[in-house]
């Protein structure tokens, strides 16, 4: 039996792999690398061990119903779906359609993301849908739409970075989050032009050692000031691309005035970045941009969650775009700006209807023409479609509230671990009249459910994903799903039938994709020229890909997506400078990922090799801070604020600032980093504040202090 060409189930790099039949187990597969432009045959630890997920003993293999005593008992699919449909119907009849909420995930295939949006708005008639991508890409997406009129994480191919001699990475630890990506940084490293901005000396920051570049280590949450200061320097030193600004942009004068106040010594005061480093970085970026025009070895600015997961994340991403535009990087053949999408289908998942304000093709649900087009594909009255719903944090805040959500369906997300202010979210879930969780493992969210529905994993289904570079790729069926497991497409088809939906729902991924392509036609994210046949040929397929085209590997070469065809520089202000760290004994907590784990850890904590390598959360803190607090390496510590308390071991390291501590967010129980994070959100994107949380840390000296 030949192997199956597919892609890794984890991050948005979507590394290509082969799944080959196991020589020892007829029901299992083994992983092999596969040559592909993004990963060139390489995989990280998570990818190499991904096949273990398919045979995990922790799989949920049949529908489970909560009993009066709190236990779960198996049920038939017919009985489980009858119960769910009855509860949905009753909730809508008593409290209205918006009393039913849906929470999706950035790991769902394009087909599932599309069908989930359709199911919510047509079969349920509810506006209350959003997804965990709101915690990941929303600020970068809002900034991209604001500046360019279109949001595609990387508006160029990943391997275009190979020829760059200057790459600025802000707030992303790609060496651990997507290791094969670092192969594309080698040209910049060889030229001494890799610049990494991060409060921690991460594995990515260490790539700048030995003359390969520069590590810039600002205080947490000061990235906006840093970017405003760099833009000020580029303008003040007359390093801008004036021809580009005049021909291709608007808004420069307002940006120039807005950054006047951010001279280098003031930026140093607020960021901790020395003046000499600011000046050197501005010169390097401008020189790289000029060389790019002459030689094609350009300059790229890349942002990640470290600068975006803030209450001012949209403005920070906008400031990074402004810097890119004044340097003349965007919409050229040799340079660019992009944001590093995290979740496996973080790009496609936000294009086709999971977001509370969108319809397929990245259309606005408030646009009458968009509603009419999509309603035509769905064969429903445009007026029957609900309006704009609530972004994720607000949606979760409406659980169980008077006039709020009484029944919630969760697909592809583990909000008890991944959502901010996790204690509040867990308490809110327990107030619901009815909670349904579709998952392949018994996650921390599934534990609270009234009904748990077992669903297919990545290698047990057909579908498509859209990678961080906007490339649409095929996910292929490699192994049969366990007998009691079903695809969400089938589940939504069955529920829609029970709810007497006005539109039809297919359980066949290929049919759903064809419908998605029709629904996206004419939208910003136009997939109408794509098909499974084309994708199976593995010809490069970058959206927009309208019918009759060959796709768009590099965006904005001729014009931007605004009606005037120009990029819009938008002046932003740093409004939350705040007090310095370590005031009254407090520290600043930042959260992030480890090499071995992914997102809430629902999958990777069940892979023995990964769990053995990183079995628990550890709080990284500086030796000087540890000494001041009486903490030794490996000792148990308590990290707390008014939202919650985390208990974990200490990891004493010089790789972090003395005023900052770091905690990974993959772990459950009282090691959940999001017990501490705030659910205050960015007013534009709805992004919560994950990267700047005030905490206190103390040593736990008593034996067995962890719970």
Fold topology of 138-340: Dimethylsulfoxide Reductase; domain 2 (3.40.228)
Q: Do domains 64-135+346-454+487-507 and 138-340 have the same CATH topology?
A: no
CATH number of 64-135+346-454+487-507: 3.40.50.740
Cis peptide before 515 (omega within 30 of 0): no
**Which secondary structure element, helix H or strand E, spans residue 166, and what is its range?**
strand 166-170
What does the pLDDT read at residue 682?
A: 94
What does the pLDDT read at residue 578?
A: 57
Rg, the chain, Cα only: 24
* Residue 580 pLDDT greater than 60, yes or no: no
Over residues 158-199, the pLDDT tens digits come to 999 999 999 999 999 999 999 999 999 999 999 999 999 999
Over residues 118-174, the pLDDT tens digits come to 999 999 999 999 999 999 889 999 999 999 999 999 999 999 999 999 999 999 999
Domain ranges of the chain: 4-55, 64-135+346-454+487-507, 138-340, 583-699
Which percentage of the chain shows pLDDT scores above 90?
93
CA atoms within 13 A on the CB side of 652: 16
Instruction: Give the mean pLDDT of 325-353.
Output: 93
Instruction: Give the mean pLDDT of 299-313.
Output: 95
Q: Which residue(s) pair with 681 in the sheet? A: 688
Distance CA 488, CA 444 (A): 20
Q: Which of 517, 449, 462 is nearest to 489 (CA)?
A: 462
Over residues 245-297, the pLDDT tens digits come to 999 999 999 999 999 999 999 999 999 999 999 999 999 999 999 887 888 88
Q: Which of 536, 556, 533 is nearest to 470 (CA)?
A: 556
Give the pLDDT band (50/70/90) at residue 706.
very low
Collapse the DSSP code of 438 into the 3-class scheme (helix H, G, I; strand E, B; otherwise coil) and give the result: strand
What does the pLDDT read at residue 579?
A: 52
The runs of H, that is alpha helices, within 327-381 are 346-349, 368-378
Q: Cβ of 705: how many Cβ atoms within 10 Å?
A: 13
What does the pLDDT read at residue 51?
A: 96
* Residue 581 pLDDT greater than 60, yes or no: no
What does the pLDDT read at residue 341?
A: 87
Q: Cβ of 624: how many Cβ atoms within 10 Å?
A: 12
Instruction: Give the mean pLDDT of 418-439.
Output: 97
CATH number of 583-699: 2.40.40.20
What does the pLDDT read at residue 707?
A: 42
Q: Quick one: CA torsion of 189, 205, 578, 638, rounded to 10 degrees?
A: 170
Residue found by looking up tokens 């859209």 in the block: 466
Which percentage of the chain shows pLDDT scores above 70?
98
Over residues 613-627, the pLDDT tens digits come to 999 999 999 999 999
Architecture of domain 4-55: Single Sheet (2.20)
Q: Give how far Cα 536 sits from Cα of 11, 345, 464, Å.
A: 21, 18, 10
Q: Which of 186, 188, 187, 204 is nearest to 196 (CA)?
A: 204
Distance CA 58, CA 442 (A): 7
Q: Which of 388, 389, 351 is nearest to 367 (CA)?
A: 388
Give the pLDDT band (50/70/90) at residue 703.
very low
Distance CA 27, CA 47 (A): 19
Instruction: Give the mean pLDDT of 561-587.
Output: 84
Determine if residue 406 is left, alpha or beta; phi over 0 gives left, psi from -120 to 50 gives alpha, anything else beta.
alpha
Distance CA 196, CA 176 (A): 14
What does the pLDDT read at residue 2?
A: 78
What does the pLDDT read at residue 516?
A: 98
HEC string of 379-404?
CCCHHHCCCCCCCHHHHHHCECCCCC
* Residue 41 pLDDT greater than 50, yes or no: yes
The runs of H, that is alpha helices, within 573-679 are 608-613, 623-629
Over residues 678-697, the pLDDT tens digits come to 999 999 999 999 999 999 99
Instruction: Give the mean pLDDT of 578-587.
Output: 68
Give the pLDDT band (50/70/90) at residue 585.
confident
Beta-strand pair 358-359/587-592: unpaired
Instruction: Give the mean pLDDT of 326-340.
Output: 96
Q: Which residues contact 701 (CB under 8 A, 6 or more apart)?
A: none
What does the pLDDT read at residue 1?
A: 52
The runs of H, that is alpha helices, within 479-573 are 488-498, 509-520, 532-536
* Residue 25 pLDDT greater than 70, yes or no: yes
Give the pLDDT band (50/70/90) at residue 582.
low
Residue found by looking up tokens 């949380």 in the block: 693
Sign of CA dihedral 681, 363, 117, 513: negative
**Least reliable range by pLDDT among 326-330, 342-346, 620-624:** 342-346
Distance CA 302, CA 141 (A): 13
């Amino acid at each position: 039996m030949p192997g199956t060409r597919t892609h890794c189930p984890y991050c948005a790099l979507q590394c290509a792999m082969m799944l080959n039949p196991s020589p020892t187990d007829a029901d299992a597969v083994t992983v092999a690398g596969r040559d592909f432009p993004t990963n060139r045959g390489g995989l990280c630890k998570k990818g190499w061990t991904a096949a273990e997920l398919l045979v995990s003993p922790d799989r949920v293999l049949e529908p489970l119903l909560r009993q009066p005593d709190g236990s779960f008992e198996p049920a038939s699919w017919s009985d489980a779906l009858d119960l769910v449909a009855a509860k949905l119907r009753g909730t809508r009849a008593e409290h209205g359609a918006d009393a039913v909420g849906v929470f999706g995930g950035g790991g769902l295939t394009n087909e599932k993301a599309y069908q989930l949006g359709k199911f919510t708005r047509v079969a349920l008639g509810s506006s209350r849908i959003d997804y965990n991508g709101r915690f990941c890409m929303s600020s970068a997406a809002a900034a991209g739409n604001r500046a360019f009129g279109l949001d595609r994480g990387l508006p160029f191919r990943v391997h275009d970075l190979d020829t760059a001699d200057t790459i600025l990475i802000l707030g992303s630890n790609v060496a651990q989050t997507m290791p094969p990506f670092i192969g594309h940084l080698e040209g910049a490293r060889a030229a001494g032009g890799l610049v990494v901005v991060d409060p921690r000396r991460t594995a990515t920051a260490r790539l700048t050692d030995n003359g390969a570049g520069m590590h810039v280590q600002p205080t947490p949450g000061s990235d906006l000031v840093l970017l405003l200061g760099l833009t000020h320097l580029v303008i003040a030193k007359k390093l801008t691309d004036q021809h580009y600004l005049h021909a291709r942009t608007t808004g420069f004068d307002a940006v120039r005035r807005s950054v006047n106040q951010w001279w280098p010594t003031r930026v140093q005061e607020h960021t901790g970045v020395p003046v000499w480093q600011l000046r050197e970085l501005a010169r390097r970026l401008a020189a790289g941009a000029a060389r790019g025009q002459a030689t094609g070895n350009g300059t790229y600015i890349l942002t990640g969650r470290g600068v975006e997961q803030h209450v001012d994340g949209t403005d920070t991403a906008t400031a990074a775009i402004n810097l890119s535009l004044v340097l003349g990087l965007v919409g050229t053949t040799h340079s660019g700006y992009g944001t590093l999408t995290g979740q496996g289908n973080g790009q496609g998942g936000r294009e086709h209807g999971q977001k509370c304000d969108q319809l397929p093709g990245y259309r606005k649900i408030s646009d009458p023409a968009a509603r009419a087009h999509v309603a035509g594909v769905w064969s429903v009255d445009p007026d029957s479609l609900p309006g704009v719903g609530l972004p994720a944090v607000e949606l979760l805040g409406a659980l169980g509230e008077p006039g709020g959500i009484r029944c919630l369906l969760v697909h592809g997300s583990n909000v008890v671990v991944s959502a901010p202010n996790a204690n509040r979210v867990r308490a809110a879930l327990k107030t619901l009249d009815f909670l349904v969780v579709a998952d392949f493992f018994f996650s921390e969210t599934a534990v609270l459910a009234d009904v748990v529905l077992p669903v297919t994993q990545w290698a047990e289904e057909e579908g498509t994903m859209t990678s961080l570079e906007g490339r649409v790729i095929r996910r292929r069926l490699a192994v049969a799903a366990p007998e009691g497991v079903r695809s969400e497409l089938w589940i939504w088809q069955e529920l829609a039938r029970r709810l007497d939906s006005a539109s039809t729902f297919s359980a066949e991924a290929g049919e759903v994709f064809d419908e998605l392509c029709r629904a996206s036609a004419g939208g910003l994210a136009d997939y109408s020229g794509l098909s499974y046949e084309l994708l199976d040929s593995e010809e490069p397929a970058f959206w927009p890909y309208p019918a009759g085209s060959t796709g768009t590997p590099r965006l904005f070469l001729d014009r931007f997506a605004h009606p005037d065809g120009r990029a819009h520089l938008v002046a932003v202000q740093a409004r939350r400078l705040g007090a310095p760290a370590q005031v009254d004994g407090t520290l600043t907590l930042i959260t992030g990922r480890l090499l071995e784990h992914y997102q809430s850890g629902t999958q990777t904590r069940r892979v023995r090799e990964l769990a053995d390598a990183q079995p628990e959360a550890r709080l990284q803190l500086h030796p000087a801070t540890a000494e001041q607090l009486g903490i030794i390496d490996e000792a148990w510590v308590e990290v707390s604020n008014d939202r919650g308390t985390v208990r974990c071991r200490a990891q004493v390291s010089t790789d972090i600032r003395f005023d900052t501590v770091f905690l990974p967010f993959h772990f459950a129980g009282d090691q959940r980093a999001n017990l501490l994070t705030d659910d205050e959100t960015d007013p534009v994107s709805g992004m919560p504040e994950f990267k700047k949380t005030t905490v206190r840390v103390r040593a736990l000296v008593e034996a067995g202090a962890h719970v």
